[in-house]
Amino acid sequence: MNINEEILKLADEYEPYMVDCRRKVHTFAEVAMKEDKTHAFILEAAKKLGLPYEEVPTTSVIVKLDTGRPGKVVALRADIDALPMEEAETNLVGPRTCHSEQPCTCHACGHDAHTAMLLGAMQMLTRLKEKLNGTVLFCFEEGEEPNSGVAALLAALEKYNVDTCWAIHVYAAPEEGKMCVDPGPRMAGACGIDMTFRGKGGHGSRPDLAVNPVFCGASFLNNLSVAFPQQLTAGKTVTMGITIFQGGEALNVIPETARIAGTFRFFDAEEGKKAQQLAKQTAEHTAAIHNCTVEYDPMMSIIGIPTITDAACSKLASRVLNEVLPIGTVVHCDPWYGGESFRLWLERYPGVFAFLGIKNLSEGFGAEHHNIYFDFNEKVLKTGAVSTVRYAIEWMGENDL
């Protein structure tokens, strides 16, 4: 039996285990930095396998599988946090397989599946340990949604001299079971928009005695919407999502301030910086025209880079996944405009950020992420685990002893 056949056999064996893991993690969904039950669940799995682990504050975990033979160090990552939102009782067409039992908390992005697939890969690679060289690090990252856990986890990884990293995100756009390991930007970079225009409050009946920041904010939005397509580079898409315009609380009171906030998303970091600078420049000129001032939240100084898959790692992944998965499973797909903390991993280590399709509209899978009707398609768990294991093994090499 060759290595691909062994992987597929193990995946069949551990598929029920992954389904069970996914359902349990979904049931006790926990928000960022409070993933205590999930943390304990991961530790229990590591202890049963006899694998050493490192707890990274507050709830991240690194589980180590050392073959005892020299070789590459492969870091495999799954995020474990849920979202602070309710889920609907159904998916797009009918009842869910399982429900979150935590109020206003659910896995509406698929991190429960990421956790389950990595736990499955941990079981499979442990079984294959004697045939491999080097070390695998199974990394369970807390707080991916607010990017609050990644810094501590990456700091803990520094001592391991990681050669490559790998992560999967389940994705509602591609069809069920399709894998994408394309090179280049896979998820967007982001920068915040958060500014407050300050005027002079007064009575609503005498706008001439006040300086109304609401008009200033409205004028800024108009000015920015004109400047955006005229001054950003054609062909380098930057999306502008203004989601907050807050000014005043009473119908007869001109407020002191008006706040505007949102995000820019982009796949070219320099163009993202350009968009942020354009927003500031437009805000300052607009404020001057309206006799207002403008203040920026600290988040407007932060630029989150895109999540970029290494070209050589992409080529390797495509080759080995086409060997182990059915023909037509590995496909190309467009980048995703959401953001990801895994971008910081790929800044440090060459690696792959893979997409795993879950869409099956006839069964109700295909709602957008962070949507109350989002539901995970458990049929793809095995494909994700097989892909993870096959990528790791290609780096570790088979032990000929």
pLDDT recorded at residue 397: 85
pLDDT recorded at residue 303: 82
Distance CA 213, CA 146 (A): 30
Residue extent(s) of CATH 3.30.70.360 domains in the chain: 189-304
pLDDT recorded at residue 301: 83
pLDDT recorded at residue 133: 97
Burial code (b: 16+ CB inside 10 Å, e: under 16) for 188-207 equals bbbbbbbbbbbbeebeeeee
Average pLDDT, 10 consecutive residues per value, the chain (401 residues): 95 98 98 98 98 97 97 98 97 96 97 98 97 97 96 98 98 98 96 96 97 98 96 93 96 98 94 95 98 95 91 98 98 95 97 98 97 98 98 85 40
Instruction: State the fold for domain 3-188+306-396.
Output: Aminopeptidase (3.40.630)
Architecture of domain 189-304: 2-Layer Sandwich (3.30)
pLDDT recorded at residue 247: 97
pLDDT recorded at residue 399: 61
- Pick the closest to residue 200 from 182, 212, 188 (CA basis): 212
CB 103 within 8 Å of CB 31: no
pLDDT recorded at residue 400: 53
Residue extent(s) of CATH 3.40.630.10 domains in the chain: 3-188+306-396
The structure's pTM equals 0.92
Question: Tokens 């033979």 identify what position?
Answer: 69
